[in-house]
Structure 1
Amino acid sequence: MARWKHIRRKLRRPFETGGFLLIKSLIPLLPRGAVVGLARFAGRIALFFPLREKRIGLKNLDAVFGATKTDAEKRRILASSLATFAQTMLDVFWFSGNPEARIKKYVEFEASPLKDSFFEDKAVICITAHMGSWEIMGQAAALLGADMASIAATVKNQVVDRILIEQRERTGQTIIPQKGALKTLIARFRKKGKAAFVLDQNTEVEDGGIVVDFLGLPMPVSPAPAALAYRTGTEIMLGFCLPEQGGRYRIRVTQSIVPPPFDKERGMDEIVHGLTQQIQDGISAEIRAHPEYWLWSYKHWRRSEGQTYPANYPVY
């Protein structure tokens, strides 16, 4: 069975690569309005089909909002969420065509003291979520002069993975593979570099996750950014890139978390858990403020055998 799966994957790979290259060639040729319109259409039409993403999204919305939002409101949020995700994926390709000019025209950092602090010559652990266009943030920050790196999972298709890395690095950003990133990150922070993490995904306890409150529900997440911040004394900043009218994006730096000084005599677990909870509280606040831009159609909450969960915990 494993051998047959390997063979199928190998046979499928040329078609995956060809499709990817075709989309990469065509999407940058579209006018901005066409990309936005196509994404909005995809979000609206998706609600008329029995898609897995629709089912998961509505279960998540029910779990978080319950009776505080009507079914019609939840469907509108989900349609916008799916449209935002579609636009984010299309923009991976659209912004690859003349990225410097397009980012300068369509992406803006909101002016604030936190934004000014972010661009100072210092190490920063940058935290965001699957909200709006998380893909464009690192590229925009690097284009404005930040020594920026993003942590990314490796795509199995090596050709696609290489092209994606090239696209993400075109404005000066560095892509660090998720596997084995620890030493690279520590060295980067010592040189006053910055690195970004997307931190709203479920990381099972057996894979190193720790359970915190996320949108009012228990969820295991990675403690790695908090542990790195504490061990290296690196400031944590939360930021989000939300869509606006006309296909534009606005990046907001919303919060700064300064870890306590590292103390070998104190246990790390409690401090790291507290920092991780602060991060999740900041992400949760942004999602509640702008639920229409967050990725609801992902299995964020997963049950483990032998554990007790609240009545509104989703069952997928």
Structure 2
Amino acid sequence: MTSETKPSQRWTLRARDSALSAGVWALMRVLRLQPPQFSAWVGSFWARAIGRHTRVHKAALRNLRLAFPEKTDAEREAIAMGMWDNLGRMAGEFVHLDRIWQYNMWEPAKSRIETTGVSNFVAMRVDGKPALVFTAHLGNWELPAIAAAAQGLDSAVLFRAPDNSFLADLLFNARSRVMGELVAASHVAVFELAAMLDQGKHLGILVDQSRSGGPMVDFFGHQCTSNPTIARLARLYECPVHGVRVIRLPGGRFRIQCTPALDLPRDAGGKIDVNGSMQMITSVVEGWIREYPEQWTWFYRRWRHFGKEF
């Protein structure tokens, strides 16, 4: 909202935000009383019912045509509807962030969580080094940060707050109860992240969105920009870089996978190459998405240089 906004427009915007905030608050109170799996089903039902009629759905289909030109329209539509199912379930699960982590390595049948790459996680916890951990908007991407805190990993998470102050506070309060330290994305966030690494913490960063002026990478056969923050920090601190993804499974279950530390490319001087590292990380994320395309958030504008005809 700018200083040039007319008083009537300001009133309308405030009324809209207030109505949205009240609606979200009431819905969360109701869903909180339900079991997590039922809340996830409710979120999925409404996301699928409404999502397919929005501009966002059309944007997702455009991106799917770029990523999977070999697939039929029906196949791409099915992936887009799977995306809405995943997003709706994640919204329903959000009110249960403090309950959703159920992991028992001694009795897997009683756990909501399956894990692979546990040795890689353990190595991060005991090696005495800071580390960088990248993930993507796949499955329920809140879980890696919850897992780190629940398993005693000294961690911090970079996040982007919504413009609505009520929603921003809501997200922050819910996450702060179950995650490590939270760092809001801003023009000074990189200095906060650097301070976290100086303290030996493990930083979680989502890496699957574009950034104007960032290194160009190949993503599903097309060039797009990437956010180089994680590669620049790796170059500066020479710390391990791991990938962690969450796969949604049937029955309200999840699988969390942690990769070994990546062998990032280096330049002629032996320093980590930022551009090459962002391509390697992007390729890992693309492989994740190709395996479970219906669990990625397809409406992000990764390929901004393509026109609307796509």
Distance 1:17 1:234, change over 3 A: same
Q: Which amino acid aligns with 1:185?
A: L
Which residue is 1:127 aligned to? 134
Match of 1:183 in 2: 191
1:189-204 pair list within 5 angstroms: 189-204=197-212
Give the Å deviation of 1:248. 1.4
Contact kept in structure 1, 2:160 and 2:185, CA below 8 Å:
yes
Whole-angstrom distance in 1 between the partners of 2:25 and 2:206: 26
CA contact (8 A) 1:151 1:178 kept: yes
Identity value in percent: 24
Q: 1:34 to 1:153 in 2, by over 3 A?
A: same
Name the CA distance, whole Å, in 1 between partners of 2:141 and 2:239. Answer: 21
TM-score (norm 1): 0.84
Structure 1 residue 247: Cα displacement? 0.8
Partner SS state of residue 127, structure 1: strand
Cα distance in 2 for residues equivalent to 1:220 and 1:150: 22
Superposed displacement of residue 123, structure 1 = 1.2
Query: Shift in Å at residue 46 of structure 1?
Result: 4.7
- Residues 1:246 and 2:255 are matched in the alignment: no
Q: Where do 5+ consecutive residues of structure 2 fail to align? A: 103-110
Structure number with higher helix proportion: 1
Q: Is the contact made by 2:116 and 2:255 (CA closer than 8 Å) also made in structure 1?
A: yes
- Aligned position for 2:108: none
| CA-to-aligned-CA distance 1:185-227 (integer Å, 9 cap, x gap) | 112112220111111112122xxx2211112111111111101
**Deviation per residue, 1:42-62 (Å, 9 max, x gap):** 454357x53212211221111
| Match of residue 30, structure 2, among 6, 11, 26 | 26
Query: In the TM superposition, what are the counterparts of 1:152-191 in structure 2 within 5 Å?
Result: 152-179=159-186, 180-191=188-199
- Contact 1:123–1:189 under 8 Å retained in 2: yes
Aligned residues: 296
- Match for residue 77 of structure 2? 75
Alpha-carbon distance between aligned partners in 2 of 1:35 and 1:146, rounded to the nearest angstrom: 29
**Cα 1:122/1:26, change in 2 over 3 Å:** farther
Q: Would you say the 8 A contact 2:113–2:253 is kept in 1?
A: yes
* Contact residue 233 and residue 259 of structure 1 kept, 8 A: no
CA contact (8 A) 1:234 1:258 kept: no
Amino acid corresponding to residue 194 of structure 1 in structure 2: H
Q: Which runs of 5+ in 1 are unaligned?
A: 304-308
The answer to whether the 8 A contact 2:117-2:260 is kept is: no
Residue equivalent to 1:306 = none
The residue number in structure 1 matching 2:234 is 229
Matched, 1:140 2:147: yes
SS in 1 for 2:37: helix
Distance of aligned partners of 1:164 and 1:219 in 2 relative to their CA distance in 1, 3 Å threshold: same
Once residues 136 and 92 of structure 2 are traced to their aligned partners in structure 1, the CA distance between those partners, rounded to angstroms, is 18
The alignment status of 1:281 with 2:289, answered yes or no, reads no
In the superposition, relative to structure 1, how do residues 36 and 177 fare at CA in structure 2: closer, same or farther (>3 Å)? Answer: closer
In the alignment, is residue 58 of structure 1 matched against residue 58 of structure 2? no
The Cα RMSD (Å) is: 2.5
Q: Deviations over 1:20-77 (max 9, x none)?
A: 3212212221223322322443454357x5321221122111111112x222222221
Structure 1 212/172 Cα, relative in aligned 2: closer, same or farther at 3 Å?
closer
Q: 1:302 offset after TM fit, Å? A: 0.6
Q: 1:60 to 1:159 in 2, by over 3 A?
A: closer
The letter for the 1-side match of 2:257 is: R
Cα deviation for residue 301 of structure 1 reads: 1.3
CA drift at 1:122: 2.6
